[in-house]
Structure 1
């Protein structure tokens, strides 16, 4: 058995931790949902299919490149389906798949929690930044 330095052990521990995270289903899903534009895409597609141009107008803060990357990632994950209508110009549309629609209650729960507790978090941040101990937020 070879001896490892502390630096080598820390590097091995970091690599092991990254591997565990990569194999953890919860972490993988949270990584998808944590993307800046995913929640907005889901919000726009919750009521039904939308054309690419409609999504771009509705999510005006996202560049075309970021919106395209987000939609491709969601399509790759099976959460969004892309359709192409042969026309001049070509019409591209997106809709939530059944798997994607199954995430809507989860996102609604997160939205509800955020609506109830955002002010608590803001207060805690202000108190922390002012050097005061943060109060326990109301439930």
Structure 2
């Protein structure tokens, strides 16, 4: 009975992996072929004036993700060598420094440092601790 459960679980996992990306691919094709997609890139909405047919901007609060995006400067691009380079943009001939980079790039840089430290901990320190506590 135990092997039958393992086989059923393995089969279900294989089917899920095989067909899980199919719906994503179909959804992407359908979205790409649709011509009536409208995208709003700012938190200001427009309101049509009934009197003369012109549109005037209305101030909206925007969603939480819009406010977070505005606070971390999501519309700005980052300069890679200033973030990940050894000189952090301070070398001669570099156009931007680390301090001039947008907030989102600095957050991702900090997260990459954290992930590197966590990976080193998981690769070296945790097995050593397990060996000391539990032995071979």
Normalising TM by the smaller chain, what interval? under 0.3
Bigger radius of gyration among the two:
2
